[in-house]
Structure 1
């Protein structure tokens, strides 16, 4: 199965016109498409199945739970498969079945371990103020993000505990917005407390997937760890030079991953 990968277009400020990749069996849209959501409409009636995992910026300036419900409704209207702690099965032209396991997987701020959690939470508070989301009338602050992240982590752990392949599917692909390993850190910033707002220590979960696709980091990655291929094809902001060399038609093969 051939997957086109797109994320972090930030169409609230950027200009980019997505085009289907020739030969792709599905499109994976790994979040931060447009904080205003208008850019999501560019993907209406996509010619192949579209698997969408929301990014953090899809919740900007909104109530978290209302935004989640509204995103589900919009995705259904546009014909997307929204994977919000959910599983979806697809079969390619060769009859190979792929189980897609999708979650935003918010950051739990434990990338550097519990002893560094407070420093990571303090650094993460800046990003939550920029996001300016609420939940139940309260700021969706770093502690609230951690609570949601731990729930996502528990769901992923349980779901990826099933065999990576078996009688019901031939391969598993995980899709998250946040990175699953410190190896996905942006090389411009390296290992600093703020990196825990972009990556999680989910390396123990990697053996449960053949391929793990993520976004959030405004740089590209393609590496192997614990038998899993990890790929990020994020575009980022052109004014910072992050979009240089970006290939919006990039594809990866599940069964050669």
Structure 2
């Protein structure tokens, strides 16, 4: 962190990445670019010891803090609650913060993180079609069986309640799911599946008024303002995707 001599204001450099999908073996790099804090907005890799070792051995020494919000792919092949418990236990060693409905203070700034999950824009047909088409509902275990759209909607509502109670004006919010359909991938039609990829909660953004909202999930990068809040993503994508606009050198000062 640095202090501007003229006004004494402390600024923090954030390095942002999501959706680099290390589980596929070849992923976009997260280089050392002199940031104070690394923000990982989900779909980094599986919630397992391989990811923990990467955080601990390759990244932890570079940053004052690593803030890791899980995405959906972290839980593939795993029970959601067991994976969260394991990653929280490993985080106790101090190399990273597992931000599953958590707020963390770093210096003068407060970060609030949650996966957010899908609300399907509250469209029953979107829930039905996503339940058939999206791998989350075939790969994530939850509640003694597979994740269902109804269970995911429950998780989303828990996340919204957490954000509403926790976020204060000027905070930095980190979610995997974007909080507005304005962040959707414009290369695909506005259909039931598109409603799965963005959790459309503009009223929550407007009422909580964070300074910055970092997100991912769509493999389509955005940087725009919604009310008083900057909405930003820096997503890598799958190995075969080359046009997501991922910028490994992206630094955001707050």
- TM-score bucket of the superposed structures, by smaller chain: 0.7 to 0.9
- Counterpart in the other structure of 1:53: 69
Check whether the contact 2:178–2:217 (CA below 8 A) recurs between aligned residues. Answer: yes
- Counterpart in the other structure of 1:107: 118
Q: TM-score, normalised by structure 1?
A: 0.85
Check whether the contact 2:13–2:251 (CA below 8 A) recurs between aligned residues. Answer: yes
- Counterpart in the other structure of 1:232: 233
Counterpart Cα distance in 2 of 1:39 and 1:248: 19
- Counterpart in the other structure of 1:132: 139
- Counterpart in the other structure of 1:182: 181
- Counterpart in the other structure of 1:247: 247
- Counterpart in the other structure of 2:9: none
For the pair 1:67 / 2:100, whether they are aligned, the reply is no
Alpha-carbon deviation of 1:8?
Answer: 0.4
Counterpart Cα distance in 2 of 1:175 and 1:181: 14
Structure 1 residues 190 and 210: CA distance shift in structure 2, 3 A:
farther
Among 138, 141, 150, the alignment partner of 2:148 is 141
Alignment deviations for residues 204-236 of structure 1 (CA, whole Å, 9 cap, x no partner): 122420000001110111000111000010100
SS in 2 for 1:238: coil
Alpha-carbon deviation of 1:40?
Answer: 4.5
Q: Give aligned pairs, total.
A: 234
Among 4, 18, 24, the alignment partner of 2:30 is 18
Alignment deviations for residues 62-97 of structure 1 (CA, whole Å, 9 cap, x no partner): 111111101212333461012111111111xxxxx1
Gaps of 5+ in 1: 92-96, 165-170
- Counterpart in the other structure of 1:191: 190
Aligned-pair RMSD on alpha carbons? 1.8
Gaps of 5+ in 2: 1-11
Check whether the contact 2:137–2:149 (CA below 8 A) recurs between aligned residues. Answer: no
Check whether the contact 1:120–1:193 (CA below 8 A) recurs between aligned residues. Answer: yes
Structure 1 residues 184 and 131: CA distance shift in structure 2, 3 A:
farther
Counterpart Cα distance in 1 of 2:61 and 2:234: 19
Structure 1 residues 104 and 36: CA distance shift in structure 2, 3 A:
closer
For the pair 1:80 / 2:90, whether they are aligned, the reply is no
Q: TM-score, normalised by structure 2?
A: 0.86
SS in 1 for 2:151: helix
Alignment deviations for residues 45-76 of structure 1 (CA, whole Å, 9 cap, x no partner): 24211111011110101111111101212333
Counterpart Cα distance in 2 of 1:29 and 1:159: 20
